[in-house]
A and B are shown apart, each in its own frame.
Chain A
Amino acid sequence: MKLNLFEDKQIKEEHVDVYYANMRPMIRQLIDVVNSERPSLIGRPADEDLDDGEGIVLDPKEIYYLDYVERKLFAYTEEGVYRIMKTLAECEELLWNYGFVRVSKSDVVNVFKIRQLKPDFNMKVYAYFDNGERICVNRSYKKEFDEYLQRIRRMQ
């Protein structure tokens, strides 16, 4: 994408003009940044006491997947596991344009972080990530997952 920057000391209101052919995820991300709505998740290290730990801002790009276990939501990154104080549905909606899609009742995965999809001997399909973890792509969510991949591909 071509980037033009213009410095003008006389300007009264700074502004950004975006020329685009298609409303791709990248363009949406730019809009979010300008509107200061770029989603970021606040996470606390999962192995620390929530009251003592300090919140860490997580970049969605760094998250492999979100897992909802025992009424708690966890984000898995290369650095570690963080507890997120939001619901899975909220995160799914928030990160929809950032490559995140629901693959089961309790998991939302980042398609940009999937290393490989692989069917197991028992015919379940798993998404494998670079951290060695795997998440099952439930058959009930297969249609949504397929549609999401098609949509992302079309938009790019």
Chain B
Amino acid sequence: MMKNYVKKVALGLCISYTAVSVTGAITNVFAGWETNNANVLIMFGFCLIASIVLSFYEMFTNVSPLAMMVFQYLLACGLCAVLLLCVSMIEPISARGWFEYYRSFSIPYVILAGIYYYSIYLDTKKKNAMIKEIQQANDEVQS
């Protein structure tokens, strides 16, 4: 059970960190921004926190997805704050730095939440069409 959970989180971490790294690299190429090793490690820490928090998904099946997303976001923000506090003990982080880190975390989260909502809408539309088809076929057989 624990082994499967670790496997699942590790898989999520690999996927999310790859996506973040590649997106960061492409953005750096085009925008000419520069990053350093500390940023890369903090991004990895954010990905790890996000993977663990999102893996709690199955614990919230009875609450609405929106409430679950808000709760997970707040929890992730809290854990990120702890991570940044730890980092700031080694290397001080400016107020702007805090803002940038949270922006880097929040923007993908909101975009992915929107994609998730849209996928629910599309999936429901598809299932509605399927239900209508089943009902029509059943009506034809009955008549």
In the complex, are the beta carbons of A122 and B131 less than 8 A apart? no
Contact (A122, B65) CB under 8 Å given A1-B141, A156-B138 = yes
Which of A24, A114, A123, A153 sits near B120, CB closer than 8 Å?
A123
Residue from B58, B116, B127, B134 within 8 A of A156 (CB atoms): B134
Interface stretch among A10-18, A41-49, A87-95, A138-146?
Answer: A138-146
* Beta-carbon nearest neighbor of A27 in chain B: B141
Min CB distance, B101 to chain A, in Å?
A: 27
Report the bound CA distance from A146 to B64 in whole Å.
Answer: 19
Count A-B pairs with CB separation below 8 Å.
61
Q: Of the candidates A125, A138, A149, A150, which one forms a contact with B61 in the assembled complex, judged by CB atoms under 8 Å apart?
A: A138
Q: Is B128 a contact of A153 with CB atoms below 8 Å? A: no
How extensive is the interface on chain A, given as a class?
Answer: 20 to 34
A7 within 8 A of B: no
Query: Cβ of B141 and Cβ of A156 under 8 Å apart?
Result: yes
Q: Could you tell me which residues of chain B, from 52 to 67, have a CB within 8 Å of some CB in chain A?
A: 58, 61-62, 64-67
In this complex, the interface size class of chain B, counting residues with CB under 8 Å from chain A, is: 20 to 34
Closest 8 CB pairs of A and B: A122-B64, A123-B65, A156-B137, A122-B66, A140-B61, A124-B64, A123-B66, A117-B124
Between A and B, 10 residue pairs with Cβ closer than 8 Å are: A25-B138, A112-B138, A117-B128, A121-B66, A122-B67, A124-B65, A140-B58, A149-B131, A153-B130, A156-B138
B binding-site residues for A, Cβ under 8 Å: 58, 61-62, 64-67, 69, 116-117, 120-121, 124, 127-128, 130-131, 133-135, 137-138, 141
